[in-house]
Amino acid sequence: MTREFIPARVFYEPGALDYPLGKSLAEDFRQMKIPLSPATSHNRITGIPGNTPAAQYREAKRTLVIGVRRGEKFQTCKPSAHYQLPLVTSCPGMCEYCYLATTLGKKPYVRIYVNLEEILGIASELIRERLPEITQFEGAATSDPLPVERYSGALRQAIEFFGRESNGRFRFVTKYTDVDSLLDAKHEGHTRFRFSLNCSEVVERYEHGTPSPEERIIAAGNVLKAGYPLGFIFAPIFRFDGWQEAYRRLMERSAEELTKRAPSGWSSEQLTLEFISHRFTSRAKTNILGVFPNSSLPMEETERKFKYGQFGYGKYVYQPEEMKEMKEFFLEQVKVYFPWAQVEYFV
Ligand code: SF4
């Protein structure tokens, strides 16, 4: 089952209507009878209802903003890519542990940018600057871009742009499964399509509005069949009663589906795997408890190890001996289920 995102309200920057995509989106939402209002800037949206932080958060997640992405440069995106590719900000999902909780704060409304040609023009210049090297772009640094793809078509446009760029590569990650419109895009193997996976025990407890792990695995099989380079991110990994068996089953089922759907000649050495154990910052904890006051996320500082982060704020990670056990466990499972895959990191 796919979860179609239908916003409760839409805002647009007036300048967005100067672009064909902005104009046609405004027209579509008007026909869908979704309330549509102008906003001075996509960075300052007022008028989202809600009397409590929790209600404001829920309403923000049902709010779509049609904006114009300004600026001549992209943020860097180390270590996974050279630059972020800003196509979308935020996503309609409501995962309690969302990695954007720190950056987007309590009003994470969903923004799509309609000046795609200008954005891809900047990408083109950045690729030229680094020639003859290959330049990598990450499309999910500030969003899950897939749920709004049905409105913007931005991923397809970006995928085909990178398909034509011999020195540009694109990657993004999603928890969503609405992949059909991307399966016949001319990707030329230049886009790595990654799915974020977790076991159902974790998804059912902490994610709201995202597809099940089984649906993601099936979508990953479809993407693999379409010839895309594929990756899985197992994140965030938790320790709970029975975690080993739960994650083992998840990896077993993923491997089974890929084996069934892989095009001829595919081998798991073309698959990338990333593993991220659960961690939190003090700021994220405050934001999370503001919008999910009854969250059962394990965020007890005394049970964790404090680690200084590269961006000046520290995070709470599992204890070193717990991390060691988790890493060994996952690398063991990789040997069993994806023996040739490239493990990019375990953190
Ligand atoms: S799907 Fe990803 S971006 Fe969206 S709320 Fe969940 S973690 Fe955040």
* Cβ within 8 Å of residue 134, ≥6 positions away: 167, 168, 169
Q: How far is the CA of 96 from the centre of ligand 1 (A)?
A: 9
Confidence (pLDDT) at 312: 67
How far is 41 from 44, CA to CA, in rounded Å?
5
Tens digits of per-residue pLDDT, 242-266? 999 999 999 999 999 999 999 988 9
Q: How many domains does the chain have?
A: 1
Is 254 inside any structural domain? Answer: yes
Tens digits of per-residue pLDDT, 52-77? 989 999 999 999 999 999 988 999 99
Whether 74 and 85 have beta carbons less than 8 Å apart is answered as yes
Name the β-bridge partners of 316.
280, 306
Which DSSP helix (H) or strand (E) runs through 323? helix 320-337
Is 227 inside any structural domain? Answer: yes
What is the length of the chain?
347
Whether 108 and 90 have beta carbons less than 8 Å apart is answered as yes
Q: Is the dihedral of CA 296, 141, 237, 192 positive or negative?
A: positive
Is 42 inside any structural domain? Answer: no
Is 12 inside any structural domain? Answer: no
Which domain range does residue 301 map to? 70-89+114-346
Residue nearest to atom 7 of ligand 1 (CA): 98
Residue among 28, 8, 25 at smallest CA distance from 17: 25
Is 257 inside any structural domain? Answer: yes
Which of 90, 138, 175, 198 gets mutated to test ligand 1 (max ligand atoms within 8 A of its CB)?
175
Which DSSP helix (H) or strand (E) runs through 346? strand 342-346
Q: What is the CATH number of the domain that holds 202?
A: 3.80.30.30
Confidence (pLDDT) at 311: 65
Helix (H, G, I), strand (E, B) or coil at 74: coil
| Residue 207 alpha carbon, nearest atom of ligand 1 | 6
How far is 232 from 318, CA to CA, in rounded Å?
22
Is 307 inside any structural domain? Answer: yes
Is 40 inside any structural domain? Answer: no
Is 7 inside any structural domain? Answer: no
pLDDT score of 112 more than 90: yes
How far is 292 from 138, CA to CA, in rounded Å?
29
